[in-house]
């Protein structure tokens, strides 16, 4: 099926960015939102962003003008999707709201139209139940901002067809993006499932009084060389966004519990930079300022703690045929700007060390952190990483 016309539902932070990406790739785009003022604001942001592309010499003024002309704004959902070959929904992360919109899109769009949802955590399978075409419903998780971030997670629901999957992956490439495939609809998919589990464990450790927030963040920056601490990053991206993913994991994963440290922040409305307060305080509300943390607080916490859990989650994705090692490492590098993939890092640290650390964590924090059978099997085979010539990848001795 040839994709000619694309509809983007939602003109907010993600929606207008996705519309811009599609228009710059040469597609005719209808961008829909519930009010004209939202559409106007979305178009203003697109013009500003395209202006930046011109400034940096990435596109010519003529190309920019053509891209802008390809975008049509509409308030009517029916008019927005009726001629589209492919729809990307980018509305707020509320399951019932998405299901209602998918039900309407299913009624108004053509039979061949693929319906994609830009979600970072919500179950594709449950969204698809609102339609008569679950085989044509798929997840398409763009990273923020879509105009600049190269990664797109493609997520298959239980009934998503191979054809729908292949068309979506091809479209991601035509957008000039790098796709990774999540073959099963698991909570958090690849990116958030791997990263948020480790973050939640560290939050539990702080809640239980093992470490302070400053000790964790100082170790992350001064010992591990991260650009910002674990809790500073939560403030920066939004504690509410992390909680959204954590809550869905808690509801669907046995033995997984959201740390009360994070729940308390949500209850108080202290959700990070945008609220003026999160784990740190931001006097200029909405404006990021790096928290000042003393280097002498870095000694106590092992900044690899998060990494051990991330490797374990990644191993389970591989063992259950949900994602490949290559796609997992691509996700970490392109989605989170990591200089090295999480599995490449695991091979460097040693699989035996990681399993030993996980057993310590499991004994304190429960069965969710039990080492993956895949990691145990790798140890039995002597596949410990770079030191044995084979781990997740093969190396020359």
Active-site residue set: 120, 141, 153, 192
| Ramachandran quadrant class, 138 (left: phi over 0; alpha: psi -120 to 50; beta: rest) | beta
Contact partners, residue 191, CB within 8 Å, separation at least 6:
120, 141, 143, 151, 153, 331, 335, 336
Question: What tokens does 232 get?
Answer: 């500073």
* Residue 336 exposed, middle or buried by CB count within 10 Å (0-12, 13-18, 19+): middle
Say how far apart CA 316 and CA 327 lie, in whole Å. 14
Are 76 and 104 a contacting pair, CB within 8 Å?
no
CA atoms of 27 and 8, how far apart (whole Å): 12
Token pair for 365: 């924090």
- As to burial, measured by CB atoms within 10 angstroms (0-12 exposed, 13-18 middle, 19+ buried), residue 8 is buried
Beta bridge partners of 32: 9, 74
The partner residues of 87 in beta bridges, in order of sequence, read 7, 115
Give the gyration radius of the chain's Cα atoms: 22
The DSSP letter of residue 300 is S
Q: Which residue has the tokens 């690899």?
A: 304
Q: Cis before residue 145, ω within 30 degrees of 0?
A: yes
């Amino acid at each position: 099926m040839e994709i000619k016309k694309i509809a983007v539902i939602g003109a907010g932070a993600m929606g207008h960015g996705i519309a811009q990406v599609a228009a710059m790739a040469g597609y005719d785009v209808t961008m829909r939102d519930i009010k004209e003022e939202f559409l106007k604001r979305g178009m203003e942001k697109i013009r500003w962003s395209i202006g930046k592309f011109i400034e940096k010499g990435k596109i010519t003024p003529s190309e920019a003008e053509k891209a802008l002309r390809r975008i049509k704004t509409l308030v009517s959902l029916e008019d927005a999707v009726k001629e589209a070959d492919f729809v990307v929904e980018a509305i707020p992360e509320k399951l019932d709201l998405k299901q209602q919109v998918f039900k309407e899109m299913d009624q108004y769009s053509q039979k061949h139209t693929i319906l994609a949802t830009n979600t970072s955590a919500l179950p594709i399978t449950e969204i698809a139940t609102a339609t008569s075409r679950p085989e044509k419903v798929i997840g398409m998780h763009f990273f923020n901002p879509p105009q600049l971030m190269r990664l797109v997670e493609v997520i298959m629901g239980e009934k998503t067809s191979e054809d729908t999957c292949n068309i979506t992956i091809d479209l991601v490439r035509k957008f000039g993006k790098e796709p990774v495939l999540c073959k099963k609809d698991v909570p958090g998919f690849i990116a958030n499932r791997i990263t948020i589990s480790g973050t939640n464990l560290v939050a539990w450790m702080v809640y239980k009084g093992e470490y302070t927030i400053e000790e964790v963040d100082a170790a992350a920056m001064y010992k591990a060389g991260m650009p910002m601490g674990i809790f500073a990053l939560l403030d920066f991206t939004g504690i509410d966004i992390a909680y959204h993913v954590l809550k869905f994991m808690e509801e669907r994963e046995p033995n997984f519990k959201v740390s009360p440290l994070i729940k308390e922040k949500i209850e108080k409305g202290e959700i990070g930079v945008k609220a003026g307060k999160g784990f740190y305080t931001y006097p200029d509300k909405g404006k990021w300022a790096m928290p000042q943390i003393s280097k002498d607080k870095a000694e106590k916490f092992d900044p690899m703690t998060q990494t051990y859990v991330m490797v374990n989650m990644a191993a389970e994705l591989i063992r259950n045929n949900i994602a490949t090692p290559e796609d997992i490492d691509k996700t970490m590098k392109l989605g989170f700007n990591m200089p090295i993939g999480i599995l490449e890092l695991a091979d460097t640290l040693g699989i035996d060390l990681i399993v030993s650390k996980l057993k310590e964590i499991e004994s304190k924090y429960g069965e969710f952190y039990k080492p993956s059978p895949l990691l145990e099997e790798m140890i039995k085979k002597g596949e410990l990483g770079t030191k044995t010539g084979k781990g997740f990848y093969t190396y020359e001795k």
